[in-house]
C-alpha cells in the first residue's frame, strides 16, 4: 500500500544453513537504509529446531530509494559487537556467557579495538543457542558472522566457529560479507551499483541467475566484485 507493508512471520528464528533473523536488523536493514530503505524487524519470540514457534514482526515503509549501492572499500575496522543467545533452560550452564566470552577472547587476540558480545536468554519451545557477531568499519560497512548450537557441540566451539568466520570476512578486505552479497542482488537490479564481497557464493550466483531471468543481462562479475546495471526505479 502507499503507507507501506507490515507482516508477521512464524517459525524458526535461527537454523542450520540459513542466516539468523538477527542478521536483518543488524546488517541488511542498516546497510540498505543508506540507499533509502526504511524498515524494522522485531523479534517477538525466538524459535529453535525442532518445535520452532518463533515470531517476528516486519514493518517496511513505502518510499523512493535514494540511489545506487556502492559498497567496494571496507574502510578501517573500528569495533566488533555481538549477541550471544541461548534458551532459558541452558542458563544454569551459562551457555550464552560462555559463547560470548570465548568469542571476545579469540577476537581480542586479533584486533586491538573495542570488542563486546552481550549475553541474552530467551524462552523457547525447543532448547537452542546461537551467537551473532558484527564488525563495523569507519565507512559504515558491517560484516556479519554467526554460528548455531547443536547437540554435542560445546558453547566454546560455537564461539570459535563464529569468530573464525568473522576473521575470514575481515581479512578478505571486502565491504560486503558473503551472506549480504546474495541479499543485495535484487536491490542492485533496481538501483544499480557495485559491491565487493568476500566470496561469490552459490546463493549469490543463483540470485544473479534468477534476477537476470526477469531483467536480462544486468550483472558483470570481476573476481569478487559484482556490478549491477540500473533497470528501473520502484517504490519500496
203 among known catalytic residues? yes
Q: Provide the β-strand partners of residue 235.
A: none
Task: List, in sequence order, every beta strand (DSSP E) within the chain.
Answer: 5-11, 39-45, 54-60, 69-71, 77-87, 115-122, 129-137, 142-148, 193-196, 219-222, 225-228
Choose the catalytic residue: 203, 225, 227, 231. Answer: 203
- Per residue in 39-64, is it b (16+ CB within 10 Å) or e — as a string? bebebeebbbeeebbbbbebebeeee
Catalytic residues: 203
Amino acid at each position: 500500500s502507499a503507507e507501506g507493508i507490515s507482516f508477521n512471520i512464524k517459525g524458526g528464528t535461527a537454523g542450520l544453513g540459513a542466516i539468523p533473523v538477527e542478521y536483518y536488523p543488524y546488517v541488511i536493514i542498516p546497510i540498505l537504509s543508506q540507499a533509502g530503505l526504511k524498515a524494522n524487524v522485531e523479534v517477538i519470540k525466538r524459535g529453535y529446531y525442532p518445535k520452532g514457534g518463533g515470531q517476528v514482526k516486519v514493518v517496511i515503509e513505502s518510499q523512493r530509494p535514494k540511489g545506487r549501492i556502492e559498497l567496494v572499500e571496507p574502510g578501517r575496522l573500528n569495533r566488533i559487537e555481538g549477541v550471544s543467545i541461548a534458551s532459558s533452560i541452558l542458563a544454569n550452564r551459562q551457555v550464552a556467557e560462555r559463547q560470548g566470552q570465548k568469542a571476545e577472547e579469540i577476537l581480542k587476540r586479533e584486533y586491538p579495538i573495542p570488542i563486546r558480545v552481550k549475553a541474552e536468554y530467551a524462552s523457547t519451545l525447543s532448547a537452542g543457542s546461537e551467537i551473532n557477531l558484527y564488525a563495523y568499519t569507519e565507512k559504515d560497512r558491517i560484516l556479519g558472522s554467526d554460528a548455531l548450537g547443536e547437540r554435542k557441540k560445546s558453547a566454546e566451539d560455537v564461539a570459535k566457529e563464529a569468530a573464525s568466520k568473522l576473521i575470514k570476512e575481515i581479512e578478505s578486505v571486502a565491504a560486503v560479507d558473503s551472506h549480504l552479497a546474495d541479499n543485495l542482488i535484487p536491490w542492485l537490479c533496481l538501483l544499480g551499483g557495485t559491491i565487493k564481497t568476500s566470496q561469490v557464493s552459490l546463493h549469490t550466483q543463483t540470485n544473479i541467475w534468477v534476477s537476470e531471468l526477469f531483467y536480462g543481462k544486468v550483472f558483470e562479475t570481476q573476481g569478487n566484485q559484482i556490478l549491477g546495471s540500473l533497470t528501473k526505479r520502484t517504490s519500496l
